[in-house]
């Protein structure tokens, strides 16, 4: 049996305490991250410099002993590898060249070209596979096609994904061709991460919550199912975590619909609800509200215990409902871990 608790939970084992890691665990709330990022110069250079990307991936493992490390990269590297311009505006977020016409789409590169841009990421994975402690699981990741498309269409983050919904309504063929291109690129990208040493992959669909009715099935569930099947066909036994954020009641039945080993949930549903409606399908990851790592105190301890307790009857990976924010106090992560592991 493996000593990697994360892999055991993904295989369906109920563990007490549950394995734990947190989204954005390598990030600006850590002084050592800020120092390495300054050394790299800018965020994209950090993503594409394997030694530095591996270093920031390892920092939260050294500080906290999380049960999993997540590769340091970004979901927007795939659009860049497909030929989109990508840059980050400090204090605002990502900017990309937009895809709104057939001509914009025709200028994109074929999916098979993505390795040219993304090969430094595979080198980061190889370094991590060598350097991580033997009990720590290495998670690779990519954005889900819908979420990545929302950024490619709008050229930036949007509160309601309006431009992507508009393109879907006005030119569905073009919208679907873009989703297909991203899906193909994502399969190749994740497969290369696995070949380099990623032991699990996670698909981040941060904006799945704005897809309604049949759109949720067609543009959140089906692309994730297609990616999952292609990866499992090529890498038998590979565990997959799907994170359709904001799915609400639609989290029920998603393990089977996507074919994923684990469904990650945000804090829009309670852990009690998830135990009843999602955990019967398999492992659940989540779902402490991330603002509690800013505010801390007894509320953090009590809410952490509540999540652990609610999901203790089945396979569970403890995590947040969304990424830790730059204003979180690193000491609060210790408080959270003590509440999980120290009883």
Residue 157 C-beta: closest distance to ligand CP3, Å = 5
Comparison of 199 and 314: residue with beta carbon closer to ligand CP3: 199
- Cross-strand partners of 202: 141, 241
**Looking only at residues 268 through 327 of this chain, which bind ligand CP3 when binding is defined by CB under 6 A?**
323
Give the closest residue to 32 by CA, choosing from 67, 50, 70, 58: 58
Query: Is 76 among the residues that bind ligand CP3 (CB under 6 A)?
Result: yes
Interface segment toward ligand CP3; rule CB under 6 A; list 17-25, 193-201, 250-258, 297-305:
17-25
Whole-angstrom Cα distance, residue 51 to residue 177?
36
Among 7, 52, 68, 75, binds ligand CP3 (CB under 6 A): 75
Site for ligand CP3 in 41-70 (CB under 6 A): 43, 70
Interface segment toward ligand CP3; rule CB under 6 A; list 11-19, 74-82, 221-229, 254-262: 74-82
| Least distance CB 169 / ligand CP3 (angstroms) | 23
Annotated active-site residue 33? The verdict is no
Task: Report yes or no: 262 and 239 within 8 Å, Cβ to Cβ.
Answer: yes
Q: Are residues 189 and 116 in contact, defined by beta-carbon separation less than 8 angstroms?
A: no
Catalytic residue among 8, 37, 181, 226: 37
Tokens 């090969």: give the residue. 119
Stretch near ligand CP3 under the rule CB under 6 A, chosen from 71-79, 129-137, 220-228, 288-296: 71-79
Peptide bond before residue 185 is cis, with ω within 30 degrees of 0: no
Catalytic annotation, pick one of 64, 151, 189, 219: 151
Whether 172 sits among the annotated catalytic residues: the reply is: no
Backbone angles phi, psi at 254, to 5 degrees: -75, -30
| Least CB distance to ligand CP3 at residue 147 (A) | 6
What is the gyration radius of the CA atoms in the chain, in angstroms?
A: 19
Q: Please identify which residue in 11, 13, 17, 28 interacts with ligand CP3, judged by CB under 6 A.
A: 28
Contact segment (CB under 6 A) with ligand CP3 among 23-31, 116-124, 231-239, 281-289 equals 23-31
| CA 179 vs CA 151, 175, 335: distances in Å | 12, 6, 41
Q: Is position 130 annotated as part of the catalytic site?
A: no
Between the alpha carbon of residue 255 and those of residues 122, 201, 280, 308, 319, the distances in Å are 28, 15, 9, 20, 18
User: What minimum distance in Å lies between the beta carbon of 5 and ligand CP3?
Assistant: 19
253 lies in the site for ligand CP3, by CB under 6 A: no
CA–CA separation, 98 and 101 (whole Å): 9
Catalytic annotation on 151?
yes
DSSP-assigned states of every residue in 251-273 = GTTHHHHHT-SEEE--TTS-HHH
Please report, as residue ranges, which positions from 143 to 162 form the binding site for ligand CP3 (by CB under 6 A): 157
Q: Is residue 28 flagged as an active site residue? A: yes
Q: From residue 80 to residue 119, what is the string marking binding to ligand CP3 with x (rule CB under 6 A)? A: -------------xx-------------------------
The answer to the question of residue 37 lying near ligand CP3 (CB under 6 A) is yes
For ligand CP3, which residue of 9, 23, 242, 284 counts as binding (CB under 6 A)? 23
> Residue 316 — φ and ψ, nearest 5°?
-145, 135
Whole-number Å distance between alpha carbons of 61 and 131: 11
Other beta carbons within 10 Å of 304: 21
Using alpha carbons, list the distances in angstroms from residue 78 to 73, 118, 120. Answer: 10, 8, 13
189 touches ligand CP3 by CB under 6 A = no
Say if strands 93-96 and 86-89 run parallel, antiparallel, or are unpaired.
antiparallel
For position 74 contacting ligand CP3 by CB under 6 A, the verdict is: yes
- Residue with the CB atom nearest ligand CP3 in the bound state: 206
Binding site for ligand CP3 (CB under 6 A): 23-28, 37, 43, 70, 72, 74-76, 93-94, 141, 157, 204, 206, 323
Which residues are known to be catalytic? 24, 28, 37, 74, 151
């Amino acid at each position: 049996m493996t000593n990697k608790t994360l892999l055991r939970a993904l295989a369906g084992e109920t563990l007490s305490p549950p394995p734990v890691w947190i989204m954005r665990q390598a990030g600006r709330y850590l002084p050592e991250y800020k120092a390495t990022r300054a050394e790299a110069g800018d965020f994209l250079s950090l993503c594409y410099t394997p030694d530095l990307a591996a270093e920031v991936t390892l920092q939260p493992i050294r500080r906290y002993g999380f049960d999993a490390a997540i590769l340091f990269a970004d979901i927007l590297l795939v659009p860049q590898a497909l030929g989109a311009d990508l840059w980050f505006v400090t204090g605002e977020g990502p900017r990309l060249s937009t895809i709104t016409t057939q001509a914009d789409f025709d200028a994109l590169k074929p999916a098979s070209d993505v390795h040219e841009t993304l090969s430094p990421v595979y080198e980061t994975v190889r370094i991590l596979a060598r350097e991580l402690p033997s009990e720590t699981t290495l998670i690779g990741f990519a954005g889900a096609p819908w979420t990545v498309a929302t950024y490619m269409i709008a050229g930036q983050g949007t509160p309601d994904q309006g431009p992507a919904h508009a393109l879907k309504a006005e030119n569905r063929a073009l919208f679907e061709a873009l989703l297909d291109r991203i899906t193909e690129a994502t399969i190749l990208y994740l497969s290369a991460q696995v070949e380099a040493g990623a032991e699990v992959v996670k698909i981040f669909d941060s904006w799945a919550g704005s897809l309604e009715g049949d759109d949720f099935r067609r543009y959140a569930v089906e692309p994730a199912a297609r990616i999952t099947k292609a990866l499992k066909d090529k890498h038998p036994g590979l565990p997959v975590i799907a994170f359709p954020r904001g799915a609400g009641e639609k989290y029920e039945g998603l393990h089977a619909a996507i074919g994923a080993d684990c469904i990650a949930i945000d804090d829009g549903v309670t852990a009690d609800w998830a135990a009843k409606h999602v955990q019967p399908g398999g492992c659940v990851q989540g779902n402490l509200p991330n603002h509690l790592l800013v505010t801390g105190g007894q509320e953090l301890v009590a809410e952490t215990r509540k999540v652990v307790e609610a999901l203790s009857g089945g396979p569970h990976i403890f995590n947040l409902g969304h990424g830790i924010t730059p204003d979180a106090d690193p000491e609060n992560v210790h408080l959270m871990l003590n509440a999980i592991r120290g009883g």
